[in-house]
Amino acid sequence: MNRIISRFELLQSQRQKGLVIYIGAGDPNLGATLQLALGLEKAGADVVELGVPFSDPLADGVVNQLAAQRGLASGTTPPKLLEMVAELRRQSQVPLVLYIYFNLLHRVGLDVFIQEAAAAGVDGLLVLDLPPEESANYETLMEKAGLCPIYLIAPTTPDERIALIAPRARGFIYYVSREGVTGMQSSVSTTIPGMISRIQRYSSLPIAIGFGVSNPEQARQVAELGDAVVVGSAVVNRIAQHGSSPGLVDEVCHFVQTLSKAIKS
């Protein structure tokens, strides 16, 4: 069974909430990404999202844009990233999602990329700029490869589009709790409960809530509203601060431990 699906089934059986952690692949280099992914699993991450560096990350705020730039500068490409994933799989079975823009799949070829991702050990793809209306072939190829297509739903998504998007997702649904791009926020959105109820009308999949969760207290509040919490920019910001330090992994994973403790205690 797909690792994402298995992990959420385990969490549900234990009555626990999930923690999804996003980092930029290749930031500061792929060796560090490998060590971070291993450390994040030990720190309590249930799913690790790897942002594939791209020159025009239109869904991302400045923190993740800079991470993408650092990833590109370190020479990280999709083939090199998949080599790192294969190495990670020799040491860990942590569920992995690639957070990616469609141009990178299109350049390689959709079928080829999906097959190579599955062979390396990827469990799901979150393609930021692929509308569900144009994703039929993508979904067929993903199902054939045993990968989960992760879809986004936003606060501005009307019911008719939730009804279109939610049934097509696998693994979990990513609810973007704020309008706009990724980034740290000072408070939790007040619109989350109503949107979660609306999404649940159309799907029984776990709902992971992200965009803006910045500290353990916010993570605890969000975990009470959904099935999992996604934290990205707050982690990436720490990587930016400590990227050249030998204590990088320890610094980042200590922060993730505080998040995990907040949502699982």
pLDDT in tens, 114-128: 999 999 999 999 999
How many residues does the structure list for the chain? Answer: 265
**E runs forming strands in the chain:** 18-24, 47-51, 96-100, 124-127, 148-149, 151-153, 173-176, 207-210, 228-231
The CATH number for 235's domain is 3.20.20.70
Cis status of the peptide bond prior to 28, with omega within 30 of 0: yes
Residue in this structure with the two tokens 């079928």, named with its chain if needed: 111
pLDDT confidence of residue 188:
64
DSSP state of 39: H
Distance from the first to the final alpha carbon of the chain:
28
Q: How far is CA 184 from CA 20, 90, 165, 204, 219, in A?
A: 15, 33, 26, 28, 12
pLDDT digits (tens, 9 = 90+) for 29-64: 999 999 999 999 999 999 999 999 999 998 888 999
Residue 19 has pLDDT above 70, yes or no: yes
Per-residue confidence band for 69, with pLDDT thresholds at 50, 70 and 90:
very high
Q: What is the pLDDT of residue 136?
A: 84
What is the number of other CB atoms lying within 10 angstroms of the CB of residue 112?
Answer: 11
Average per-residue pLDDT in the chain?
94
The whole-number average pLDDT for the span 79-90 is 98
Question: Domain limits at 245?
Answer: 3-264
Structure confidence by residue, pLDDT tens digits, 179-225: 544 444 455 677 899 999 999 999 999 999 998 899 999 999 999 99
Contact residues for 206 (Cβ-Cβ < 8 A; gap 6+): 8, 11, 12, 18, 171, 172, 173, 226, 227, 228
Could you give phi then psi for residue 230, rounded to 5 degrees?
Answer: -110, 125
What domain count does the chain have? 1
Residues carrying an active site annotation: 49, 60
Give the per-residue pLDDT at 181. 44
The residues, any chain, with a CB within 8 Å of residue 62's CB and separated by 6 or more, are: 183
